[in-house]
Structure 1
Amino acid sequence: MMPVRLAALISHPIQYFAPLYRELARRPDISLTVFFCARGNVEGSFDSGFGRTVQWDTPLLGGYSSRFMQNLALRPDPQRFLGVVNPAVVGLLRRGKFDALWLHGYYGASHWLAIAAARTLHLPILLRTESTKSGKHGAAHMMKAALMRNIAGALYIGSRNRSLYESFGVPAQRMHFAPYSVDNRFFLQQAELFRGQRLQLRKRFGIVGEGPCILFAGKLIAKKQPQALLQAFQAVRAKHACTLLFAGDGELRPVLEAQVRDAQMMDVHFAGFLNQTEIGAAYACADIFVLPSLYDETWGLVVNEAMNFGLPVVLSDAVGCADDLLRQRENGFVVSASRFVIEGADAIAALVADAELRRAYGARSREIIAQWDVPHTADGIVAAAHSVVGVTRPH
């Protein structure tokens, strides 16, 4: 089988995707080149969600073929449509003799330049996005509809993402499952590294006592509603000995810290931002993982991470991965995002009160997440690439 020459276009290097690119680079049936529109966090950049400069401490580059394109944006920002303007993508696609174009997302001007170039060059387009079905209409909806008419294949990451493609009329035969994954091997190695160090790790974060530890990991911002978790925790701690650990940073951190001080909750701790090689310590000392997001949580890869550490999970129904990674009353609970303070407290209390339930749910988490790993994702992308190229490549 001839390798498919696949051009991948993405806004900037992302820590979760580098292992996937390396896995694809090892596959003999794919010849991958990744084009980046901006440098992002390679040398460190300000992350508005965390409210601080972030430079990931795991390698974002190397082990796969990549190229940074000159960004001509007046205000460079991968999150803005005119924040990535890379006219060079047109020439690179024309000269590269590629068989297919893989887009991750479609929000930048450069994505649409690439789409136009691909149409001219008769390159089939594969689309992978985190978006989920929405009732919103307007310019963004019209852009999505135009894009969906031009893709040869949809790389859906999970159930809600598949529903998005279905809502735009993408037929089933053009959809390919490429599960949204983290580097399970890395996190399992971290879990093994920290095995037997639970008490030392708890001391590192200021946790005293033996009560179960409830963990939140992520940006302390409104859409993730950490304040609702704090309120739910207050109800649980009134009946059970337990602790709450916030691993992350963001604009709501000082608000949360003030609430904790005012209520004299000595069992709430703030770890601050933890990098990729540091976050494992938080998962390893935790007993329950909670993500209470209120809106726009299209997936939640921290859930994948937590499940690799064998943690039971409590998720709001606004968390995109809840339909795929959480089996109700098998490895955790899904509760209403708008009623998280009440329903979340009940779910957390059930786990805090029952060590055997936590153990059983945690073991089930590991079983489930084993199928959501980088090699499975690469399998889906390879199959999709050969499928769309097989339609256009001369025999």
Structure 2
Amino acid sequence: MPRLAIVLSHPTQYYSPWFRWMAAHAAVAIRVFYLWDFGVTQQRDPQFQHTLQWDTDLLSGYEWEMVPNVARRPGTDHFWGLRNPELWQRLRIWQPDAVLLFGYNYATHLRLIAGAKRDGLPLIFRGDSHLLGREKLSGPRRWLLRCLYRQFSAVTYVGTANREYFRRLGVAENRLFFAPHSVDASHFRNTPEREAEATQLRQSLGLAHRRVVLFAGKFVSAKQPGELLRAFTEVAEPQRDALVYVGDGPEKAKLEVLARLAPQHCIRFLPFANQSEMPARYRMADIFCLPSRGLYETWGLAVNEAMHMGRPCLVSDRVGCQQDLVTDGVTGWVFPSEDAAAFRAKLAQALSTDIDPMRPTIAQRITGYTYEQTTAGLLAALASLAPKRSPASARPDV
């Protein structure tokens, strides 16, 4: 059985269930090497403005190591936030056949790439960048990225926009493998208990008979929560519609000011919801909205979650998953991210649409985005690698 080392910045609610699934079902031995303990210890998320510790089990069911991070200021918001001098030695001890690396943005990543290149250890890259709305990269950045991706024996892409990104940066077709972004479908599914919880939540908010639009996530300007509130205020019918925000962040104070200008009882705010609470929030809503602009939303896994719960999604054309998951008028609605009038029009259309006929198509579309499909793509990438010598002789001083 091949041995695959996985190098990831920190445990997350999205990837830990996938690793657990692979350990139980896939014909590959995995060990995850974490570079920071964020998510399993209480630490403040500056964008959520909330002390965060996920309430789901992130570390059981698969092999993992927490590699000491010696950064003066640990974090994923700056290049020196991940510094793990022990990583190469620990990889050498485990002797993987290949390494799956998530991202390239930190000091540890570049040291690992250099060491693997020197000692012939194959690398597989996983990232989800896109170029939506950007015609081309600057010359120096384009050259650097093309050089970087040449260091990887295989690259997995998560969707259409991500594939086009890699192709434009020179990654050959025979090195590209589709391993879609996916979430834990067993967690995000409708059950009688979830239905009861969602009904109770609606009643507690006074929204029992309203059509509810949901925004869930970080209240940051790139996600355009204020633009959503303005659009909603202009097109919603006060006695029929409601907008619910779940989360926190630097834009919250502005949102609360705007909400006071809206018709009474139309806007509701719920605090940050941990992973165990989110299914009922999606179930409570009729429509999920992710109106992000720019390059912020490389994919938008919340769309996967909402669709698993049977909810159509209103997204901007800058959300990375849009081309794959959200077909306008079929599984949701799409608007140009910088066009406020188009946003209002699509929101009005969503609020007046009978969404029940959309649900079977939503369910069919999201079935292709599961851990099984993601793992199949990763294993195809692993199988494509030419046999390499064992990294046992690799030097630990990289």
Instruction: Give the direction of change, closer, same or farther, for the CA distance of 1:139–1:11 in structure 2 (3 Å limit).
Output: farther
Instruction: Give the direction of change, closer, same or farther, for the CA distance of 1:28–1:372 in structure 2 (3 Å limit).
Output: closer
Residue type of the partner of 2:358? Y
C-alpha displacement of 1:171: 0.9
TM-score by length of 1: 0.93
1:243-282 alignment runs, 5 A limit: 243-282=242-281
C-alpha displacement of 1:393: 6.5
Verify: 1:181 aligned to 2:178, yes or no: no
Aligned equivalents of 2:301, 2:290: Cα separation in 1: 11
1:283-298 alignment runs, 5 A limit: 283-295=282-294, 296-298=296-298
One of 368, 371, 377 as aligned partner of 1:380 = 377
Partners of 2:312 and 2:331 within 8 A in 1: yes
SS in 1 for 2:227: helix
C-alpha displacement of 1:142: 4.5
Aligned equivalents of 1:377, 1:269: Cα separation in 2: 36
Instruction: Give the direction of change, closer, same or farther, for the CA distance of 1:27–1:309 in structure 2 (3 Å limit).
Output: closer
1:142-157 alignment runs, 5 A limit: 142-157=143-158
Residue aligning to 2:393: none
Residue type of the partner of 2:265? M
Residue aligning to 2:218: 219
Residue aligning to 1:113: 111
Verify: 1:230 aligned to 2:229, yes or no: yes
TM-score by length of 2: 0.92
Partners of 2:126 and 2:156 within 8 A in 1: yes
Residue type of the partner of 1:306? A
Residue aligning to 2:240: 241
SS in 2 for 1:195: helix
SS in 1 for 2:275: coil
C-alpha displacement of 1:31: 1.0
Instruction: Give the direction of change, closer, same or farther, for the CA distance of 1:138–1:276 in structure 2 (3 Å limit).
Output: farther
Residue type of the partner of 1:288? I
Partners of 1:227 and 1:256 within 8 A in 2: yes
Instruction: Give the direction of change, closer, same or farther, for the CA distance of 1:290–1:67 in structure 2 (3 Å limit).
Output: same
Verify: 1:160 aligned to 2:157, yes or no: no
Instruction: Give the direction of change, closer, same or farther, for the CA distance of 1:37–1:196 in structure 2 (3 Å limit).
Output: closer
Residue type of the partner of 1:220? F
Residue aligning to 2:48: 50
Residue aligning to 1:29: 27
SS in 2 for 1:282: helix
Number of matched residues?
386
SS in 2 for 1:327: coil
C-alpha displacement of 1:258: 1.3
Aligned equivalents of 1:257, 1:195: Cα separation in 2: 29
C-alpha displacement of 1:239: 7.4
Partners of 1:40 and 1:78 within 8 A in 2: no
Residue type of the partner of 1:277? S
Residue aligning to 1:328: 328
Aligned equivalents of 1:232, 1:11: Cα separation in 2: 37
Residue aligning to 2:394: none
Aligned equivalents of 2:54, 2:332: Cα separation in 1: 30
Aligned equivalents of 1:108, 1:161: Cα separation in 2: 21
Verify: 1:318 aligned to 2:311, yes or no: no
Aligned equivalents of 1:90, 1:277: Cα separation in 2: 35
Per-residue Cα deviation, 1:230-277 (whole angstroms, up to 9, x for no partner): 111112224772000011111111111111113454210001211101
Aligned equivalents of 1:138, 1:250: Cα separation in 2: 35
Partners of 2:197 and 2:280 within 8 A in 1: no
Residue type of the partner of 2:70? L
Aligned equivalents of 1:76, 1:108: Cα separation in 2: 11
Partners of 1:310 and 1:362 within 8 A in 2: yes
**Which deviates the most, 26-35 or 319-328?**
26-35
Aligned equivalents of 1:170, 1:100: Cα separation in 2: 19
Residue aligning to 2:127: 129
Residue type of the partner of 1:371? G
Aligned equivalents of 1:83, 1:141: Cα separation in 2: 24
Partners of 1:93 and 1:118 within 8 A in 2: no
Residue aligning to 2:93: 95
Structure 2 alignment gaps of length 5 or more: 391-398
Verify: 1:59 aligned to 2:57, yes or no: yes
Q: CA RMSD in A?
A: 1.9
C-alpha displacement of 1:374: 1.2
Residue aligning to 2:206: 207
Verify: 1:72 aligned to 2:70, yes or no: yes
Aligned equivalents of 2:192, 2:78: Cα separation in 1: 40
Per-residue Cα deviation, 1:319-356 (whole angstroms, up to 9, x for no partner): 010010012221111101111x322222222232233x
Partners of 1:44 and 1:55 within 8 A in 2: yes
SS in 2 for 1:277: helix
Residue type of the partner of 1:106? Y
Partners of 1:215 and 1:246 within 8 A in 2: yes
C-alpha displacement of 1:193: 2.7
C-alpha displacement of 1:89: 1.4
